[in-house]
Amino acid sequence: GMSFGGLVASLVARAAKKLDARVRRLVSIDPIPPAPWTNAAFLNDMHGSGSSAAAYYLRICGDPKWEKAFGAVGPNDELAIACAQSLCAAGVRPFNSYEIIQTKREMRVMANNYRLTAHHVRCECNDYFDGPAMLVLASERVAFFGAVYSNTADESSAEACHKLGQVEKEIFLEGDHIDVCAGCAMMREEDFTSTLAAFLA
């Protein structure tokens, strides 16, 4: 799993082991910081979280102006229209009613991610996978999670992520959270693919 999925994978692996399932390995790619968090103020700011989600969504989709602030744009229909317009301007997609609906669906996935994150940071779960794990971390993760979620350096550190499993392999890749996750997902990171193959062998 990667990002929030990296943390979910640890929880699922732990639950599976409790049901006597065989879980061989856990691979977690730049996971969000494990709970507890000291500052979850962003969760009470739906406008702010919606704008942040839009910015990162557009970056993933290839908009070169992903850092643009959305100002008064809200997290619902207006945000979907703004995203669709930006994607069209970047030459990624045409701008029409279908693309607006599709963009809105994709934004709902991101909104659900925020809800899951909110649940996680308030649960203070410490019951993670206790088997062998491979941990992939972005070199700029502390800055990224500090800017997006207001995590402290300790909360987003490599040491904090070690609670997700018994780390046997750990690699650091250059870039921020999104760059590293995308690079690993597309198998573009040679260090990741070679280390993963050795870990799963």
In terms of domains, do 114 and 156 share one?
Answer: no
d(CA 117, CA 42): 11
- Residues sharing a CB contact under 8 Å with residue 166, sequence separation 6 or more, in sequence order: 130, 131, 132, 133
Inform me whether the pLDDT recorded for 193 exceeds 90.
yes
For residue 174, pLDDT beyond 90: yes
Q: Are residues 114 and 133 in the same domain?
A: no
Q: Do 64 and 98 sit in the same domain of this protein?
A: yes
Residue 154 backbone dihedrals phi, psi, to 5 degrees: -65, -40
> Is residue 4 in some structural domain?
no
Whole-angstrom distance, CA of residue 138 vs CA of residue 146: 13
The whole-number average pLDDT for the span 49-64 is 51
Domain-terminating residue out of 119, 154, 178: 119
| pLDDT tier at 15, thresholds 50, 70, 90 | confident
Name the band, by pLDDT with cuts 50, 70 and 90, for residue 86. confident
User: Is 3 in a helix, a strand, or coil?
Assistant: coil
Note whether 113 and 133 are within 8 A (CB): no
Taking the C-alpha atoms of residue 199 and residue 159, their distance in angstroms, rounded to an integer, is: 20
Q: What per-residue confidence (pLDDT) applies to 142?
A: 94
For the residues 74-103, what does the mean pLDDT come to? 77
Domain co-membership, 150 together with 105: no
Give phi and psi for 171, each to the nearest 5.
-130, 150
Task: Examine the pLDDT at 109 and tell me if it is beyond 90.
Answer: no
User: Looking at the domain assignment, is residue 1 inside a domain?
Assistant: no
Selected residue with higher pLDDT from 113 and 97: 97
What average pLDDT does the chain have?
78
Tell me the two tokens of residue 118: 């909110």
- Its pTM stands at 0.69
| 8 located within any domain | no
50 and 114 share a domain? yes
The pLDDT assigned to 128 comes to: 77
Domain hosting 142: range is 15-34+128-200
Given a cut of 80, whether residue 195 has pLDDT beyond it is yes
CA distance 28 to 24: 14
